[in-house]
Amino acid sequence: MKIQFIFILLLVNFLVACATTPTGRSQLAFMPDDKMDAMGLQAFDNLKKEKAISQNNRETQFVQCIADAITQNIEGDWEIVVFEDETLNAFALPGEKIGVHTGMIDLVDNQDQLASVIGHEVAHVLSKHGNERMSQKMGVQMGMSLITAVAAPQTAMGQTAISLLGVGAEYGVIMPFSRLHESEADILGLELMAKAGFNPRESVTLWQKMAQASQGANPAEFLSTHPSHDTRIEDLQAQMPKALKLQQQANAAGRNPRCMK
């Protein structure tokens, strides 16, 4: 009876937490938005205390110009910070925060390539991927607890079953969803940059440059939380006709960013 109650409770939580991403995919998001925003704000404050912030006004204005163009039609007041860091990285956090490393600025050739990166990171936030990842982890942990209670963990067989489920949860649930998140952010990010008037074709060039910069250091795709560069480029090219139409509409409406590196 107790087990039945637990499963009913899980079903209720599933229905309550069910949401839809901007691309139309159903997702589980247990955490309240205000809690996610608070965590994002705290994380960003910590980063600003721990990492050096760029004093290069030209670089900062370049990033700010691109981020403003992408977020102008998105709700909220986004804060953008450039961090002195040679790694190829950028991120966005709940609470409307965007961080870009100087290494990423050095890599790109133009505004459109960096716009593809920033659009991708903002897409993660708009799609509530951080919330979903936390919810996935919570769900896996809860499932492990139930199996521990039901599968007689005091036996060798029970211990083996739990350890196997742990591996399955890592490679069969969490990591594939992370690749899904990345692919989803690529698609939505492409739309965001195109709607802002940037050239979406440069997203393909950007990932070609990223592939070259990685110099074959990527792990096998099925063990990676990111799609392979080739997969990512193929997916972007498949979405390109739609993105180019969005760019044309944006340009016709007067959205023609001029962000100089």
Residue 121 catalytic?
yes
Element (H, E) at 100: strand 97-101
* 17 class by beta-carbon count within 10 Å (0-12 exposed, 13-18 middle, 19+ buried): middle
CA angle 183, 188, 192 (to 5 degrees): 145
Residue in 96, 121, 132, 184 annotated catalytic: 121
First-to-last CA distance in the chain? 65
Instruction: Give strand pairing partners of 143.
Output: none
**How far is residue 232's CA from residue 257's CA, in Å, rounded to a whole number?**
25
Give whole-number Cα distances, 240 to 122, 152, 180, 194, 203, in Å: 19, 53, 19, 10, 10
CB atoms within 10 A of CB 61: 14
| Cβ atoms of 76 and 47 closer than 8 Å | no
> What are residue 217's phi and psi, to 5 degrees?
-85, 0
Q: Which residue, chain included where needed, has tokens 């990111």?
A: 226
Which residues are marked as active site?
Answer: 121
